[in-house]
Chains A and B, each alone.
Chain A
């Protein structure tokens, strides 16, 4: 039971990150491989605020503000000039941005691991089951954020414009939608979600290093592909699935050493059965 809750909690972290990949892919039609490193930047924002004796809440706000601004800045400086360039050029640029962010973090903070003590809750025991409070918080707040995002996309004008751009960019322009602005907003939202993911991540694994974002980044990307890249509910489903599989596998001694291999095998198996991912759709053309 507690393994399952831990799994859901880790899953909601992966889902938050996966949403950033999937939204950017759906709307800007690019894979932002620097997205994982936004999590790392978020963790250093938290670390720095705490080192300056900032309140943990302030640390979280700092992470959200800095990550959002950074996401928008990266889009403007690195990706926007490549609008209309070959997808390969954009992909390589994204990988470059990823290394750039890691190198800058290493330059400022060094390569070593820094401990972060954001908050510490003693675990609670409910009905004989030990449950981590930070896991519950990640799970509940993560679910709340994802619900708000879904409502935002479904029921606001901006959300509708985002769907329009992801479905048909040229037609969206003909509605008077400023596509560049929508792409910027998408990066802002994706990066803000990554900041929350970062917060929950350091609550559970209380340290950071310049390569912190790599593993959760690649796992969340896998989650996004499992769910069907471009699909928002798909990213949530894929993320939760990855988290639960990871925690359950880690709790079984025979499987534990092979956990990462198992997670990526999940991707291969799902793509063999359903190449578009669990909730991914094939584009239909109707004449």
Chain B
């Protein structure tokens, strides 16, 4: 049984069908990536898994439990969270307060503080900016904060939506290194990326989304070598 099983997922925005029956698995310990153009349905897929938008047909199963109708805040408690596209950090709060909120589901303050120290050791930049208002951080720092904040809830499955968006190439490399580290320390990753080359490099499994459907799937290496993917997403 896979950690996350998505079957025949259909999602609508009003009358417009955004997802037209998507099925895929995320096995424990893997990095799985969804690639595709703007508007293909990548973010919609993530949001519907998290319960942020309603699922019309199909099923989302996490650790054998059907979670289609489970509200988002309970899904977080089950061990799944998301770093949303555009970071969505709490702009008016400090870096520290953002991390405290990341640990919202934990009640033991000692444990929360230890987790914050852990995040600080992974991201020394955040430690330097400890009491700074998050909205004043640079884009790269905000991405680190968003990732650190998500790790605070100790997710078994972490979904990352366009973590490299808008970042300088050197930062993009750094972010991908961090994703690999998270994965090595036992977190299963579902990654949505427009930077298909980078994503396929680290992915165990990959799925290509087009107009709300999965059109290709395989291992990261297989898709990186496929002519169709090269032509459409890797610039030649």
Seen from chain A, the residues whose Cβ lies within 8 Å of a Cβ on chain B are 157, 160-161, 163-164, 167-168, 170-179, 281, 284, 286-287
Contact = CB atoms under 8 A, between A and B. Distances in A.
Contacts of B100: 157, 160
Given A160-B97, A161-B101, A174-B81, A286 B139 contact: yes
Interface stretch (B5-13, B32-40, B86-94, B120-128): B86-94
A163 B90 contact: yes
B153 A284 contact: no
Interface string B45-86: 000001110000000000000000001110011000110101
25 contacts: A157-B104, A163-B90, A164-B101, A167-B92, A168-B90, A171-B84, A171-B90, A173-B51, A173-B71, A173-B73, A174-B76, A174-B81, A175-B76, A175-B105, A175-B153, A176-B76, A176-B77, A178-B73, A179-B73, A284-B135, A286-B135, A286-B142, A287-B86, A287-B165, A287-B166
Given A160-B100, A284-B135, A287-B139, A176 B90 contact: no
A279 B149 CA distance: 29
B220 interface: no
A174 B93 CA distance: 16
Contacts of A175: 73, 76, 81, 101-102, 104-105, 149, 153
B20 to A, nearest CB: 24
A8 to B, nearest CB: 29
A172 B166 CA distance: 23
A173 B139 CA distance: 22
Interface residues of B, number: 32
Given A176-B153, A286-B142, A170 B101 contact: no
Nearest to B146: A171
A206 B165 CA distance: 62
Interface of B: 50-52, 71-73, 76-77, 81-82, 84, 86, 88-93, 97, 100-102, 104-105, 135, 139, 142, 149-150, 153, 165-166
A41 B86 CA distance: 45
Indicate the member of B72, B135, B166 with the most A CB atoms within 10 Å: B72
A171 B83 CA distance: 9
A251 B24 CA distance: 74
Nearest to A154: B97
A177 B100 CA distance: 12
Nearest to A281: B92
A96 B19 CA distance: 39
Nearest to B83: A174
A177 B75 CA distance: 11
A172 B104 CA distance: 10
Most buried by B among A168, A174, A281: A174
A281 B149 CA distance: 25
Given A286-B139, A287-B86, A173 B52 contact: yes
Nearest to A157: B104
